[in-house]
Amino acid sequence: MFHAIPALFAQGAVPWLAVWVLVGLVLAVIIAVLVYNYFWTWLWAYMASADVSPLSLIGMDFRRVDKKLIVQGKIMAVQAGINVDNRDGVTTRRLEAHYLAGGNVPNVIKAIIAAHRADIDLDFDRAAAIDLAGRDVLDAVQTSVYPKVIDCPDPKRSQRTTLSAIAKNGVELKVRARVTVRTNIEQLIGGATEETIIARVGEGIITAIGSSDSHLQVMENPDRISKAVLERGLDAQTAFEIVSIDIADIDVGQNIGARLQADQAEADTRVARAKAEERRALATAREQEMKAQVARNRAGVVLAEAEVPLAMAAAFREGNLAAK
């Protein structure tokens, strides 16, 4: 059938006008599809000076990238004055790569904008790396600008509401602290989380109270605990920087030292009683041994006394004993 088409054209059976109309319709459909799918998105980016080419939009569809999301992120970056240079800026290709890697493009752009407004050094590569590492980069930037407070101990993570520490005089103190931290962008990837901060601060508070001679010293100057804990550099290798440690509440608990001394005295009394009972038992046993020895000695005496008459009789018989 198709090999007959040139012959029909040669014979003038197919009007040229109809062919051109058909071609025009096909082109119109293609243009309409392109306008519907890409023109308005490109125009949106063009009017915002986002520098997104139509070919990039077509390529995004082939790469299964949400083009509206990428264009929106690029527009947000441009309008916020973020660097969009092709070498180290927020480029379309970098946004696509982060999207294909499973990253949260809007969150990263918002974090970069927030860091730019707060004069924090955060480029796209670092923000994308933080996002792909599973950290909320926007929350990290916001925490760096507006420090947050962590309870120590945290009632959400532990059933305990206070830390228990004992001073050198044996008095227990129940302490509740509040730690103000801000994000350390440099240590955010690979740095320890809030749980480590809480654990380290709790350990430092217990150590500081335990090194105090009396609980009264701690009650009089709670800030000495904060200073002692801060001097230890507990935020090393963590994703946060400790701004301050405030002792929110201190309660006096039990006198553990007195109770331990009482328990020790009771134990010593029991030991002394046991030793006395042991000595009494030994003395009783020795007494019985001595009584037995006396009985044996008396028996020996009786036996010796019984042999005297026998010896005298034998002496009479043998004539060795003369009568006087």
What pLDDT does residue 198 have? 83
Question: pTM of the prediction?
Answer: 0.62
Q: What is the pLDDT of residues 19-54, one digit of tens each?
A: 666 766 666 666 666 666 677 778 888 887 777 888
In contact, 209 and 165? CB cutoff 8 Å = yes
Cα 4 to Cα 230: distance, rounded to the nearest angstrom:
92
pLDDT at 321: 61
pLDDT at 10 over 80: no
- Chain-wide mean pLDDT for the chain? 80
Mean pLDDT is lowest, of 99-108, 114-123, 287-296, 308-317, for 308-317
% residues pLDDT > 70 (the chain): 86
The CA distances from residue 273 to 22, 264, 266, 276, 279, in Å, are 118, 14, 10, 5, 10
For residue 243, is pLDDT > 50? yes
pLDDT of 154-188, one tens digit each? 877 777 788 888 888 888 888 888 888 888 887 87
Which long-range contacts does 88-93 make (Cβ < 8 Å, 24+ apart)? 88/123, 88/124, 88/125, 89/124, 90/124, 92/51, 92/52, 92/56
The band of 1, judged by pLDDT with boundaries at 50, 70 and 90, is: very low
Domain extent listing, the chain:
21-144, 148-258
For domain 148-258, give the CATH number: 3.30.479.30
